[in-house]
């Protein structure tokens, strides 16, 4: 009877360690995506009536600021370049039937700016990307370390082919 006890303990330990390992890498990746989505409020997105945000980019001496109001339900967009000209409002569905070059340019900016504004949602929904928890890493700026998730876009992706982002 005594030799059975150590064998039982080994089997129990192995079973416990296997359960704690978290399953295969695909299920861990899905869990990471879900955690990112939930921590960003994805579960409440359908309740959003309107969002306003400013997209700002500085490249050298160039400073670009674009102010957006987006109503997801009707997909209505208001764009303000913040240069004292009147804002432009349009429905994105109208771009298919009557697109002007000016609206096409504005909508291209909207797609870009909105993508980065909602980046955590895209990470959660875009199954083309590889999402990997790489554990704790030294912060790229400043002292210390933090949990790090690496998001990799494949070469043929629709948004930013080949890009890699580290989220801390």
Q: How does pLDDT run along the chain (168 residues), one tens digit per residue?
A: 454 444 333 333 333 333 344 456 667 767 899 899 899 999 999 999 999 999 998 889 998 899 999 999 999 999 998 777 899 999 999 998 877 888 999 999 999 999 999 999 988 888 888 999 999 999 999 999 999 999 999 888 777 788 999 999
Tokens of 72: 């997801």
Q: Helices (DSSP H) in 22-166: which residue ranges?
A: 25-39, 101-117, 119-125
Greatest CA separation for the chain: 88
107 closest CA partner among 124, 94, 116, 120: 94
């Amino acid at each position: 009877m005594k030799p059975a006890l150590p064998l039982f303990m080994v089997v129990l330990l192995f079973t416990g360690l296997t359960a704690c390992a978290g399953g295969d890498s695909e299920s861990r990746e899905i869990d990471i995506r879900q955690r990112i989505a939930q921590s960003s409020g994805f579960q409440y997105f359908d309740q959003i009536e309107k969002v306003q945000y400013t997209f700002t980019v500085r490249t050298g001496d160039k400073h670009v600021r674009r102010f957006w109001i987006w109503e997801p339900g009707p997909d209505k967009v208001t764009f303000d370049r913040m240069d004292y000209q009147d804002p432009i409002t349009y429905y994105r569905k109208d771009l298919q039937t009557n697109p002007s070059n000016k609206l096409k340019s504005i909508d291209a900016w909207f797609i870009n700016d909105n993508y980065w504004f909602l980046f955590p949602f895209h990470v959660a929904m875009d199954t083309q990307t590889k999402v990997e928890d790489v554990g704790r890493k030294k912060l790229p700026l400043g002292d210390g370390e933090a949990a790090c998730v690496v998001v990799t876009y494949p070469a043929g992706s629709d948004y930013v082919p080949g890009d890699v982002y580290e989220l801390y």
